Structure 1
Amino acid sequence: MAAKDPVESLTEEAVCPICLDFFTDPVILDCGHNFCRSCITQSWDREGRNSCPECREEFTDRTLRVNRALARLSEKARTLSLNRTEKESKLQCEEHQEELKLFCETDKKLICVICRDAREHRDHRFMPVKEAVQIYKEQVKSSFESLTEKESEIQKIEQEQKESISGVQEESHNLQSQITSQFAELHQILTDKEQRLLGDVREEEVKIVKSMEKNLQGIQENLKSIQEELSKLQEQTDHKNGLIFLKEEAGRKRR
């Protein structure tokens, strides 16, 4: 396993476990753990109790002792980290380990002064990196302005399309409301007509049935009279005395 970078080890020791940044006004608790003053204070206020975020040990009061040694260590770690970042930000030639100070216009790549004299770059055009950056920034700026203008045009078209969609949706909703209203009116008209027709049918039914019931009553009365006559005829037919039968039949004929 590769040994840890000394700068990295120093950086880890100078980082607050709460904010994960270099200590600012570091303080040490009775348990031995260190935190930024503002970090531990906010942690206690948030949790409502005085406990160490690392080991969870609780304390009766908020005694915070300044850790000056850790403060100095944090400042050194911050300085080393900034210097290292600045150094790493300078690109170096992978082949010659020299700073890339030139830009080859022919190959469109960054090179060092040693690469410039190499055979592969013979008769190529070069310019300082700062000048190349300025030129390409101008090109990017021009492209940016062009794209910004195009973006504005497309946004305008987008807004118009959205407004068109909203217009179609609104028109559709209005049409749907009109259709619903018109069909509701038609439904009411049909319902009223249905009730009128049903009423006419019921009225006609009552009239016809009343007449037919009257006829029925006459039929029933006629039927009753016939049945009574049949009953009498049956009695006469069943009469054993022939003379009496003949007499009654002759009287009936006269009637």
Structure 2
Amino acid sequence: MYFFFSGMGLNQSHCSGHPPCATCGGQLKFPFVVLPCSHLACNDCRQKTTSNEYPECTNFNCIGAHPGSLISNIIGAHDMILSSNTKGKKQSRQCLEHDQELVFFCNACLRPICIVCSRSKMHDSHEIRPVHEVRKEMQSIIRKVCEDVQSLFEEKQEQKRMIMAIQEDSKDMCKEARELISTRIARLTELLAQVEEKATNEVDEVEKDLAAKLQTQEIIVTKQVLGMASDVTELVLLQENHDDFAFIEKMQGPLPL
């Protein structure tokens, strides 16, 4: 959004000592516009360019602009509209119709007029005020608007700084969270390896114990089988030898287990 200012019939030429054009870098000319970045530009220059970057700004949002540039630029432009100083001397402005000094301001027509114009029928029902009073009132209004805009600008800058601080804090928090997660994962991996090693050792011990018990049981069973085989062989021999007395005595003894 641009604010448009016209010369209201004033001398539309370069005025030294006033804000520069943000587009061409030269002296500001009537009519001019207030750019979104708060700088001023000649309307002709602004219409001829399609760029969003200006010599007065470090970027489009004018982040690097001096905090007081908005007020000084607009107040300077306001002075440029209502008065023009050349080499420190005030030039009076003359009515083109009556060749009289423009000392009044018509609120209905929104333009300065001379004393002869103020008495004409054209301005008979209009509110006429001294131009210096209008100038002071306009300066006061513009200063108030500029202060409000400057306050809003500073508020937005503070919000931006807060957002950047939050972003930095978020980055730090994310970094700390990643480091904590990595540490926890490493610790869990270490614990899992320890549990796995312990379980493997316990299984190995159980397997060894079972193998030892099976071996012992196998030896016992083998001995029992051998003993039984020996007794059976002896009985067979006794029977074959018809040694009935020894056979009966052997059979009455304890059976081998």
The bucket for the TM-score relative to the shorter chain is 0.3 to 0.5
Higher helix share: 1
Look at both structures and tell me which one has the larger radius of gyration over its CA atoms.
Answer: 1
